[in-house]
Amino acid sequence: GAVVSQHPSWVICKSGTSVKIECRSLDFQATTMFWYRQFPKQSLMLMATSNEGSKATYEQGVEKDKFLINHASLTLSTLTVTSAHPEDSSFYICSAREVSVIPDSGANVLTFGAGSRLTVL
Amino acid sequence: AQSVAQPEDQVNVAEGNPLTVKCTYSVSGNPYLFWYVQYPNRGLQFLLKYITGDNLVKGSYGFEAEFNKSQTSFHLKKPSALVSDSALYFCAVRDNQMNRDDKIIFGKGTRLHILP
């Protein structure tokens, strides 16, 4: 089945540094990838929709200059947390939807990465 | 706007008993509905989906869900719970009439505890 690899799984960084998280679809092409943030005991908060070859669409309240998203190919999207601060510490999860195999791509299942836990000291 | 509600933060069930995790939704058109499961420090795993057709959908690990249009619900069920079913469960919805904005909206999650 479809597999999404997310790297790194864990990252600890100092305040003020930038951290890049990669999301790769290993055995399928994904025109659309989604980035979520999950707080402890909370639901997934959609941060942005990443579209291959175009700018990401950010959800209301998400700072696009803080969370840089790049989707340079059909198999890779990256999230860069710039000038990270302790309040950015969280569990970040990406998901990918395969290039539509049925007419309505919305019915296709999302495949999720295993998540990346960011701790900013 | 589409939304999903999971009214229970936590559900406790004895092993071997049937379980139900509740989900209600709101969309302007017809829904695509999904259930996902998350184990600690992991991403989400797909369990099942409703697109069209039979209201009773069967999925992975013996789970099933029933689409009820009149009640706008999509409750997750399993006839006999296992301790290994203990996890965080998310219901999700997408409006199938939203051609450009294909976001899937997740509920807040329900933590399922299966008691041995």
Instruction: Quote the tokens at residue B77.
Output: 């069920």
DSSP-derived secondary structure letter, A39: -
B108 touches chain A (CB under 8 A): yes
B103 touches chain A (CB under 8 A): yes
Cβ-defined contact of B43 to A104 (cutoff 8 Å):
no
Cβ-defined contact of A4 to B36 (cutoff 8 Å):
no
pLDDT, one tens digit per residue, over A53-110 is 888 999 999 999 999 999 888 899 999 999 999 999 999 999 998 765 555 555 667 8
Instruction: Tell me which residue of A7, A10, A27 sits closest to A79, measured CA to CA.
Output: A7
Tell me if A109 sits within 8 A of A1, measured CB to CB: no
CA–CA separation, B17 and B104 (whole Å): 31
Query: Quick one: closest CA in B to A39, which residue?
Result: B108
pLDDT, one tens digit per residue, over B27-48 is 888 889 999 999 887 888 999 9
State the nearest Cα–Cα gap between B35 and chain A, in angstroms: 10
